[in-house]
Structures are given as C-alpha cells and as structure tokens.
Amino acid sequence: MAIPRKIPKSLFYYTPKHASWMNQIEIWFSILVRKVLKRGNFTSVDDLKRKVLAFIEYYNRTMAKPFKWTYQGKALNA
C-alpha cells in the first residue's frame, strides 16, 4: 500500500512590493471589492464564484481599457 503524498493547499509567491504592475492589481481588486464583494449577499461559495465571474465578464466587456503607461524612466549614468 502506497503512502499518500501530501500536496500543499497553498503556494506563496513572493513579489517585490515596488513592482509597477502591483498598482494595477491593487486597483483591480479595489474595483472588485467595491462593486461585488462589499455588501454582497452570497448564499454559497458557488454563488460567490458565479457572481465574481459574471462581474469579470461584464467588466471586460464594458469597462476595461488598456493602461496607458506614461513613465519615461530615468536615464542611466554609465
């Protein structure tokens, strides 16, 4: 009889806090919280999942737009 191998339920990925794309992720989760999660009424985990996925589809169809990058960067002194 084989001994079952334990598989971790969670994986942690460490990313630098100063990464420029972190702001975009924070903005997206802020929108999700304000529009769906805050004051939400969910009868089950499946209901929560269904409503989040429906919002993502709606957001992508009606509100999403490309991010316009404006930072020019600093010149490197060689």
3-state secondary structure of 51: helix
For residue 23, what pLDDT band results from cuts at 50, 70 and 90?
A: confident
For residue 54, what pLDDT band results from cuts at 50, 70 and 90?
A: very high
| Contact by Cβ (8 Å): 55, 32 | yes
Q: With 0.75 as the threshold, say if the pTM is over it.
A: no
Phi-psi region of 73 (alpha: psi -120 to 50; beta: other; left: phi over 0): left
